[in-house]
Amino acid sequence: MPRADLIVNLVRAGTQGDQRTFRSTVEAIAAEERAKRHTQLADRLEENLRQPAPSAKAAEVVRSFDGGHGGLLYEVEPRRGLTSMFLDIAVATPVRELVEEQQRAELLRSYGVEPRHRVLLEGPPGNGKTTLAEGIAFELMVPLFVVRYEAVVGSFLGETSGRLKRLFDFARTHQCVLFFDEFDTLGKERGDTHETGEIKRVVSSLLLQIDSLPSHVVVVTATNHAELLDRAVWRRFQLRLNLPAPTPAQRAAWFERFEETLGVPLGLSPKTLATRLPVQTFSDLEQFCEDVHRRYVLALPGADLKRILTERLSQWKERVGPTAADRP
């Protein structure tokens, strides 16, 4: 919404005592100022918005991100961009389009169109769902807020829905990426006869909150069990992406990059390593290379990288079993 319209709405809401419109307008102005890196002004606006009205109880606003004192979120500083990931074209293209839409949101809004901002990621664990959420936040230069389920899910009737509302109330005042890992924890199928009425109410509350999020909040959800999600969850998301296990070509490209990072020949070709290493996830690839890197550094200055790689391959084969290439 143009700044002039926001100011008009603010004055109208103030004179008419419309607290709901007043709060949403101030939240929109604060988010706009934060997007411009006017963080002090945005903080002051939000701080004053949290002041209690006369004879009213102060609203509880979640500010703890470090996992302590009952905070519903914790903040992760994005350190890895999309270029650090090995993404299929079917994933990389729509994600980069979403980033472009967010970066050029004002142009879209001038034509009456909002950028996409709801993403559902599915696939086996260890293949980059969390890293992709971090990559989106990195590209947009915004904080990544991760939901803490142990703080959100309560044991009393209505407690979880109330905490979810507070969580979303906080998120909508920031330009950010809001990440729900293991989304099936909250978004379970409401038709499941084994679930209680409370879970069904939580899912309904969650869907309503997602629908009401402004487009400057990019909500990314991830699940290893897409079949458990409520059917109504799927249509809430404008991007529904599958992150599969790494292909042989991606594994080889991973080792090519690792060789460039070390700055010395590996002694074995990336293709050979990709074939002989018995792993099926990007997470395991990363751990293997970190393992090799540690042993290489500790063996300097006379490190034999080929020998180190051979030893590590033997250890990892014992850990997860032989590859198809090693079987007779």
Q: What is the rounded average pLDDT for all residues in the chain?
A: 83
For residues 189 and 137, what is the distance between their CA atoms, to the nearest angstrom?
Answer: 29
Q: Which of the residue ranges 154-158, 161-165, 258-262 has the most confident prediction, judged by mean pLDDT?
A: 258-262
Q: Does pLDDT of 322 surpass 70?
A: no
Least confident of 44-53, 123-132, 172-181, 184-193: 184-193
CA triple 167-168-170, angle to 5 deg:
70
Phi, psi angle pair for 130, to nearest 5°: -65, -40
Residue 327: the pLDDT is 46
Position 151 confidence tier, pLDDT thresholds 50, 70, 90 = confident
For residues 178 and 8, what is the distance between their CA atoms, to the nearest angstrom?
Answer: 30
Query: pLDDT of 92-136, one tens digit each?
Result: 999 999 999 999 999 999 999 999 999 999 999 999 999 999 999
Specify the higher pLDDT residue, 309 or 156.
Answer: 309
Residue 25: the pLDDT is 78
Average of pLDDT values for 4-29?
Answer: 70
Q: Does pLDDT of 236 surpass 90?
A: no
CA–centroid distance for 137 within its chain:
8
Residue 12: the pLDDT is 67
Structure tokens of 253? 């490209």
Scan for tokens 């996830």, then name that residue. Answer: 281
Strand partners, 240: 120
The reply to whether omega before 2 is within 30° of 0 (cis) is: no
Average of pLDDT values for 164-179?
Answer: 91
Query: pLDDT of 266-287, one tens digit each?
Result: 999 999 999 999 888 999 999 9
DSSP state of 67: S
Position 13 confidence tier, pLDDT thresholds 50, 70, 90 = low
Phi, psi angle pair for 291, to nearest 5°: -60, -50
